[in-house]
């Protein structure tokens, strides 16, 4: 990785948004029609800090994706939200749509389980990576292309110049997820929300994408919120783990604490459900 990439991607550590961390406090979200209103997040406290992978685990429907969506300001229509989500000095829950737009996709970016959902099937990879970047930064076409090449190189897509001319259907799922990560990083976010980033990928390519996310975190100081139902993925990557159930965080700690000495019965049952080779039997740190 070049020094300019490193500098460029690390984002501004200071400035109007402060240290680039996300701090969620007592986040409550209700959804659904008036007759069947449901509390889907019930008092979430969570920090996503630069250079750290914060894991959010829990079974399907526990509220992991809604937590990420709340940070992105992308909750379903009709959602009511209370509590606080601070990004540095900025309270995201109080931002106007226009100001939130300037944060979302720029300072805080998101990738999802299905990389094709964030990539347009009819647009070249170059357009996907550069259009949003140019609109937000005013960069020239040539500068935007240079940055796209730099990012594709960073996420280890082979032959970036050729890749820019191709379309999504010409890539495998693993390569597409790398391209989606490159796209998410174009505007130099300080926080990346990765929602089940490897769930749809072949087991053989999962580890590579996880290593890439770890590297981005360690080398660039990116703060990663890793959302996954898979404690095996979690144990490979997260620095800290919060376990959700029914819209609440029921357990949290360092990866080592949560994986090797879970306190909550529910966490124990998630670990017991792991395939044999992921299960920490000897009490050693799984890294």
Ligand X SMILES: Nc1ncnc2c1ncn2[C@@H]1O[C@H](COP(=O)(O)OP(=O)(O)O)[C@@H](O)[C@H]1O
Binding site for ligand X (CB under 6 A): 31-32, 40, 58, 60-66, 76
178 contact, one of ligand X, Mg ion, none, CB 5-8 Å limit per kind: none
Closest approach, Cβ 65 to Mg ion, in A, equals: 3
Per residue, what are the HEC states of the chain?
CCHHHHHHHHCCCCCCCCCCCEEEEEEEEEECCHHHCEEEEEEEEEEECCCCEEEEECCCCCCHHHHHHHHHCCCCCCCEEEEEEEECCEEHHHCCHHHHHHHECCCEEEECCCHHHCCCCCCCHHHHHHHHHHHHHCCCHHHHHHHHHHHHHHCCCCCHHHHHHCCHHHCCHHHHHHHHHHHHHCCCCCEEEEECCCCCCCHHHHHHHHHHHHHHHHHHCCEEEEECCCHHHHHHHCCEEEEEECCEEEEEEEHHHHHHCCCCHHHHHHHHCCCHHHCCCCCCCCC
Closest approach, Cβ 55 to ligand X, in A, equals: 13
| CB-count exposure of residue 94 (10 Å: 0-12, 13-18, 19+) | exposed
54 contact, one of Mg ion, ligand X, none, CB 5-8 Å limit per kind: none
Closest approach, Cβ 93 to ligand X, in A, equals: 18
13 contact, one of Mg ion, ligand X, none, CB 5-8 Å limit per kind: none
Q: Nearer to ligand X by C-beta: 40 or 179?
A: 40
Closest approach, Cβ 244 to ligand X, in A, equals: 6
63 contact, one of ligand X, Mg ion, none, CB 5-8 Å limit per kind: ligand X
In terms of phi and psi (left: phi > 0; alpha: psi -120 to 50; beta: otherwise), the region of 24 is: beta
Tell me the residue number closest to Mg ion, measured at CB: 65
Q: Nearer to ligand X by C-beta: 38 or 169?
A: 38
Q: Nearer to ligand X by C-beta: 168 or 247?
A: 247
Q: Nearer to ligand X by C-beta: 61 or 280?
A: 61
The answer to the question of residue 228 lying near Mg ion (CB under 5 A) is no
249 contact, one of Mg ion, ligand X, none, CB 5-8 Å limit per kind: none
- CA pair distance 259, 274, nearest whole angstrom: 11
51 close to 215: Cβ distance less than 8 angstroms: no
Closest approach, Cβ 56 to Mg ion, in A, equals: 10
Q: Nearer to Mg ion by C-beta: 65 or 106?
A: 65
Closest approach, Cβ 11 to ligand X, in A, equals: 27
51 contact, one of ligand X, Mg ion, none, CB 5-8 Å limit per kind: none
Closest approach, Cβ 264 to ligand X, in A, equals: 16
The Cα-based distances of 131 to 17, 101, 156 in angstroms read 24, 15, 21
Q: Which of 65, 106, 128, 177 binds Mg ion (CB under 5 A)?
A: 65
Piece of 57-65, 126-134, 209-217, 254-262 that binds Mg ion (CB under 5 A)? 57-65
Q: Which positions lie near Mg ion, rule CB under 5 A?
A: 65
């Amino acid at each position: 990785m070049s020094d300019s990439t490193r500098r460029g991607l690390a984002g501004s550590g200071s400035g109007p948004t402060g240290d680039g961390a996300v701090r969620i406090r007592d986040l409550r979200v209700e959804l659904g029609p008036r007759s069947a209103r449901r509390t889907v997040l019930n008092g979430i406290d969570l920090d996503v800090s630069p250079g750290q992978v914060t894991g959010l685990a829990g079974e399907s429907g526990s509220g992991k994706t809604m937590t990420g969506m709340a940070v992105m300001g992308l909750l379903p229509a009709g959602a009511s939200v209370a509590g606080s989500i601070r990004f540095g000095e900025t309270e995201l829950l109080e931002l106007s749509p226009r100001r939130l737009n300037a944060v979302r996709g720029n300072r805080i970016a998101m990738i999802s389980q299905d990389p094709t959902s964030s990539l347009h099937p009819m647009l070249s990879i170059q357009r996907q990576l550069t259009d949003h970047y140019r609109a937000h930064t005013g960069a020239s076409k040539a500068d935007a292309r240079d940055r796209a090449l730099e990012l594709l190189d960073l996420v280890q897509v082979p032959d970036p110049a050729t890749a820019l001319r191709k379309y999504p259907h010409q890539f495998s799922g693993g390569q597409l997820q790398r391209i989606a990560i490159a796209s998410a990083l174009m505007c130099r976010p300080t926080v990346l929300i990765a929602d089940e980033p490897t769930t749809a990928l072949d087991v053989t390519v999962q580890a590579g994408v996880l290593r890439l996310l770890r590297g981005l975190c360690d080398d660039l100081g990116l703060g990663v919120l890793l959302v996954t139902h898979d404690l095996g993925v979690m144990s490979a990557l997260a620095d800290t783990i919060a376990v959700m159930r029914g819209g609440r965080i029921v357990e949290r700690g360092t990866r080592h604490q949560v994986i090797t000495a879970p306190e909550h019965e529910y966490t124990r049952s998630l670990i017991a459900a792991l395939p044999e080779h992921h299960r920490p039997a000897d009490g050693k740190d799984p890294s």
